[in-house]
Structure 1
Amino acid sequence: MLRLSDPGEKTAAARRLRRDWLDGRLELDEMTPVVALPIPGRPPQPLLVAPREVPRRGLGTREGRAALVHAVRSGMWRSVRAGSRKPAHSAVSSPRRRSRVLSGSMRRGR
């Protein structure tokens, strides 16, 4: 399955593997030697085009809505990742202010 390069074939093979595993048709044998694979299968590299040459997709089409959802999801993921790298106290400017904020939140039972 890992050597397949066609995304459709790879997806179908992964689904078959999962189905066979869940149905109990596969066994995990810890004595089977691990075989090194050559380079895993990948789809051919897409043709790169200038942004102005990419066809526009309206929101009235399935492809257009999918592109919008993908763009929003990607932006949200980047925002979440960027936010998770900031220290929790970054909004509080000074150590003295931090201690007052923390002590105040403790008094309120938070």
Structure 2
Amino acid sequence: MEQDSLSAAAVVILTTADPAEKVRLSRTIAARWRSGELRAIGNTVPPTRPQRPDHPLLMAPRDVPKRKINQGSKGRIALLHALAHIELNAIDLAWDIIARFTGDDLPKAFYDGWVQVGDEEAKHFDLLAGRLSELGASYGDLPAHDGLWRAAEETAHDLLARLAIVPMVLEARGLDVTPAMIAKLDAVGDRDSAAILQIIFDEEVGHVACGKQWFDFLCARQERSPQETWRDLVRRHFHGALKPPFNEPARSAAGLPADFYSAL
């Protein structure tokens, strides 16, 4: 497929199964967009689901074996593998939002923001894959759950819903849980892994902020209350509960004050 527009390039990424190639394409296309070499948005239709490698074996979330960080290198490998799987899905979620909603009359800044998110998610996966290699493992060695793309399918019809669920619920949850993982890795002496998670955490604040920025933009355009609209969309499209404790400082830095989500 020719990469003559941003949406066409995004679809190339989505239809690439090999994780290393997906990372390479993400970073290359992001650089082309930033340099101005790639200018057109286009309207290439994305696939319903992205291509995936033969491994890892995908299972229902309840069937994925649980391991703890303090269970030696196997526990740390399991954690990093699970996070790498999340980041691989996050790469595709970023490029899917670019390709899927080209008909929504969005400014260039919208695409600038999500290209940066896609680029950073690719960097995150690459960091985690490299650390797995240092520990004698590879992405694909362990099973992973297949629930992460459900949010994309659930919100494929509505950009507001996509923003409400993916960055403002799922990625915001990452802000809540990552500091504890960093502390546990530090406690067992794995400072290299902890440093990678710190990079991811710092940049994920910006990803949640990007989602909130464009959610507010669309609500203003439609003359809707952001808070009431978000709560309604979460009740309709998020299958689960918002679980405290919340990382209120990180959420606030991303534009999500406590009174925005506490009622849910």
Whether these two folds match at TM > 0.5 is no
What's the TM-score, normalizing by structure 2?
0.22
Query: Which structure shows the higher helix fraction?
Result: 2
Which entry has the higher C-alpha Rg, 1 or 2? 1
